[in-house]
């Protein structure tokens, strides 16, 4: 069975590492970190769900590499942070039907 190609929100967005809980829709995207890229196709983004814990994330089979646009199809809010610099450490907050990012390093709301 072929998986349909995700919409291309960002052209040539590159690959990222994502918790299987997000991809399998068991958990919602909560944490977004941007690290230095490990190769040319890696954009540095790492996404984790609100149900992930250290034990879960310590098992490499619980993380997948996928196109940024695939994750954006699941959680469109990340489109707004795509160009954030390496070292970004963000938390997606959902309150009263609205979503915003909180910078975990400064504990301030991210202005988009």
**29 neighbors 74 (Cβ within 8 angstroms):** yes
For residue 51, tell me if it sits in a domain: yes
Name the DSSP class of 62. G
Q: pLDDT tens, 64-101?
A: 999 999 999 999 999 999 999 999 999 999 999 999 99
Q: Return the closest-CA partner of residue 21 out of 65, 55, 62.
A: 62
How many domains are there within the chain?
1
Host domain of residue 75: 15-109
For residue 8, tell me if it sits in a domain: no
For residue 22, tell me if it sits in a domain: yes
Query: Which pTM does this prediction carry?
Result: 0.92
For residue 10, tell me if it sits in a domain: no
For residue 24, tell me if it sits in a domain: yes
Q: How far apart are CA 94 and CA 45, in angstroms?
A: 20
For residue 9, tell me if it sits in a domain: no
């Amino acid at each position: 069975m072929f998986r349909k190609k995700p919409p291309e929100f960002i052209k040539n967005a590159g690959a990222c590492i994502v918790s299987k809980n997000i991809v399998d829709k068991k958990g919602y995207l909560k944490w977004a970190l941007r690290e230095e890229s490990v190769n040319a196709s890696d954009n540095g983004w790492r996404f984790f769900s609100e149900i992930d814990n250290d034990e879960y994330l310590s098992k490499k089979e619980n993380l997948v590499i996928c196109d940024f646009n695939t994750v954006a199809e699941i959680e469109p809010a990340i489109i707004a942070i795509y160009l954030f610099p390496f070292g970004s450490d963000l938390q997606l907050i959902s309150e009263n039907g609205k979503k915003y990012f909180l910078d975990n390093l400064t504990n301030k709301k991210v202005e988009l």
